[in-house]
Structure 1
């Protein structure tokens, strides 16, 4: 059962580019099939490209959907413009937006392409960022959700609702992951005592159990595992994503700057996760 907060109200929108986009289309088509909504493939021709040339891009991708996902209603479109701006605008009418992880510039530590980054940051609804090789041939039926129990606004309730719903739709288990390593917790001066980590860790586990219990009646068929370690959150999430079908993170950056809306952990896992990453905005980016 999918509750009202996570029920799609529009098609899945897939932004596709030239070459090697089959993985994006298959991920988007699967998402559309799971939610029983249409799929819209959109190519935005930038620079010297034309909509006519864009039609040649989307035609074979439409063929993949019709062949491999016959139950999914698919439409295509090619327009001219700036890809990130068009996709962000169109995301307001989509239940999900799916984009590829297209890096540039030769910086291995910053492999996320600018279009994917802009869409993940500014889209009106949830976004899935996927790249070639993200999903192993036989992935575990496991969804991972990053949980920040120290967030002053409370645990990201909407992101957790989405994570439970996605696990239920996939017949998957759900792993709630919290990482909490801070240099400030390590005493450095004479006479300084370390905090009682056992007490802190139990408080974290209690908070995770409480969130799981809130959703148990709505999602009784979703097995939940709690995973909390004294490790950097982004590092722990990247490790947990190996073999998973989806990693769900909330977007609630504490800065008022648009470029920082994702928050540091969500930003990092977009570059390091080993499976598709679903970014769920806690508040509208504006």
Structure 2
């Protein structure tokens, strides 16, 4: 059985004054309904008046009116699809990315679109999503358009490193697959040869043709405890000699969700997104969840 102990905080979705926002909000609403929590809809408007302007108060009021106008039709769309779901509007004056990162401290999930335009914010496309995924203290779901699969067909993919399996990433992926009644595909890719031992001329390397089988055996060993505990979940594996990001993007075709960890093994936590996660965010074919490490590991 999957361990479903997790934060019951709100699902927070950031919205912009642009087309395509209803899809993002409805996906966030689906996640909130599935988790049995509330949906908080955040719109941030950066004030345009110069510092010290006497029009600052009026400008702030105008931004608030615009934000309420943006949120109201989206909340109505949520109520039509999820009539029992509580929706909380959250109007912010200031940086959109900072507002979402601040709210991640108490949220169970942050949801953002892959790209944003208009008033949220006046920054290059995709920059808010990248900032939030990098600095959030809770998992971040980046919603992007995907081709619809057949009704009832679901598949969750999680990227792992057999040499550094991250329990918090696996636990999130297990919960996501169990909640959807979907199989979980555990994917590992590597172009790095492994040391076999020491020979007369130095370290010996595992041959390229042997690497996938060695990694697959190790992955199966790592997955043993999860298979025993989640005996009702279909856990599959895919191990290939390939660039990890390339293999994950390929695995994301027709997938419901792709789950990755937020950081590589550089130790620069909260400062940069792992290279694989960053590349996947830009090129995956399905929505991506970036899972940060627990606070205790920061």
1:194-249 deviation line (CA, Å, top 9, x unaligned): 73345432331122222332122432221011100111110110010011110000
Separation in structure 1 between the aligned mates of residue 208 and residue 264 of structure 2, nearest angstrom: 27
Which ranges in structure 1 are unaligned for 5 or more consecutive residues? 105-110, 186-190
**3-state DSSP class of the match of 2:216?**
helix
**2:154–2:183 Cα contact (<8 Å) kept:** yes
Separation in structure 1 between the aligned mates of residue 263 and residue 167 of structure 2, nearest angstrom: 11
1:24-51 deviation line (CA, Å, top 9, x unaligned): 1011111111111111111111243612
More displaced 10-residue stretch of structure 1: 168-177 or 154-163: 154-163
- Aligned pair partner of 1:55 in 68, 72, 75: 68
Query: What TM-score results when the alignment is normalised by the length of structure 1?
Result: 0.86
**3-state DSSP class of the match of 1:216?**
helix
Match of 1:32 in 2: 32
Which ranges in structure 2 are unaligned for 5 or more consecutive residues? 49-61, 118-123, 196-200
Judged with a 3 Å threshold, the aligned counterparts in structure 2 of structure 1 residues 71 and 220 are, in CA distance, closer, same or farther, namely farther
Across the aligned residues of Structure 1 and Structure 2, the Cα RMSD in angstroms comes to: 2.6
Query: What TM-score results when the alignment is normalised by the length of structure 2?
Result: 0.82
Matched, 1:147 2:147: no
Match of 1:171 in 2: 181
1:35-93 deviation line (CA, Å, top 9, x unaligned): 11111111111243612210000001101110011232211121211000111001111
Separation in structure 2 between the aligned mates of residue 144 and residue 137 of structure 1, nearest angstrom: 15
Separation in structure 2 between the aligned mates of residue 209 and residue 195 of structure 1, nearest angstrom: 19
Match of 2:53 in 1: none
* Count of residue correspondences: 270
**Mapping 1:1-286, distance limit 5 Å:** 2-3=2-3, 6-19=5-18, 20-48=20-48, 50-102=63-115, 113-131=126-144, 133-136=145-148, 138=150, 140-150=153-163, 154-182=164-192, 195-197=206-208, 199-257=210-268, 261-284=272-295
Separation in structure 2 between the aligned mates of residue 60 and residue 194 of structure 1, nearest angstrom: 60
Separation in structure 1 between the aligned mates of residue 24 and residue 232 of structure 2, nearest angstrom: 29
